Structures are given as structure tokens and as C-alpha cells.
Structure 1
Amino acid sequence: MCYLSITGFYPDDKQDDSLQFELDIEGNELNEKVAHLIESKPLNEVEPGELLLNESQVMALSRLLGISFPEGLEYFMGTCSKQ
């Protein structure tokens, strides 16, 4: 079983690569919605690895998920496996 995770880090110029934000997307339906929103494809077709999210993608995710993302971070979306 695969799910999506969103992580946030300070930009490279801050020289701090520690994780500042992490959100695991819960539930199959929500994971599918996020996959379609960001990748325009079903979750099972999303490639492994991390994708740098642009500002408009982060804003769209904020609306879809109903959360506020901390400002000043670079966000990435990646796939994770549930055991």
C-alpha cells in the first residue's frame, strides 16, 4: 500500500537541512485526490521519489487539505509504503 507524504525544509541558502514540516496523507480517497491535483494521474502511477512543489501547488494543497503550511519553506511530495 502506497501513500503520499509532504515534507518541508528551509531553502538551501539557510544552510539548515533539518526537517521542518511533515504531513502523511491519510486515507485512500484523499491520497488519490492529492495525486490527481499534483501529478494529474492516479496514485498507483505516481513515480517513487520526491517532487519539489511550487507555490501554486502548495496553495492548492492547502485548500484541499484544509491546513496552513508554514511560510518560508520549500515543500516536497513523496511516496511512502505502508507495511
Structure 2
Amino acid sequence: MLRKLVSGLIGLLLLAAPFAHTFEPTTQKVTDNVYAIIGELDQRSADNQGLNNTTGFIITADGVRLSSAIGGKPEDLQVEYASETFEGDEKP
């Protein structure tokens, strides 16, 4: 009985997996050393991690400077996607 229940639950999870929505922001080059992280146009939600705006970042000799068009602090935003694209001298 327990084996059938566990098998059924696993089957349901496997069937539901394609319908799960995972949001990944896109990174777009604006000009040399200036990039934008484009968020969703929908309302803030757990799926989009509250990122429904565009956040900019500028690459300088001293590092990367983040800017946010909304009142939130840039460090509160999920920007790992963009920052992970840097490998050595590579740019997103």
C-alpha cells in the first residue's frame, strides 16, 4: 500500500515538472561596459523572485556598480545570474 502511494506521488511530481515555471532574468548589453538585467513584466511573485523591473550594472576599473530604477536596494535583488556570467575577463 505504501509502495503504491509513494509511486503515485513520484508519478505526479514527474508529470507536474514540465509545468513548473522557473524565472531567469536576461542580460542585455546597452553599450560598452553597461548592461541591463531585464525582469518580468508581471507582478512581483515568488516565481520571479520580486524582480519585475530592469536593473542596470556598469563595469568599471574598480568593479561592478549596480543601479535600480525602483526604491529597492540593488543588493536585495537576485543578480547572481548576471554576475555568474563573468569568468575572468569575460563579460556577459
Which one has the bigger strand percentage?
Answer: 1
Answer 1 or 2: higher relative contact order, Cα 8 Å, separation at least 6.
1
- TM-score (ref. length: structure 1): 0.27
Structure with bigger gyration radius: 2
Give the number of the structure whose residues are more often helix, by fraction. Answer: 1
- How does the TM-score come out when normalised to structure 2? 0.25
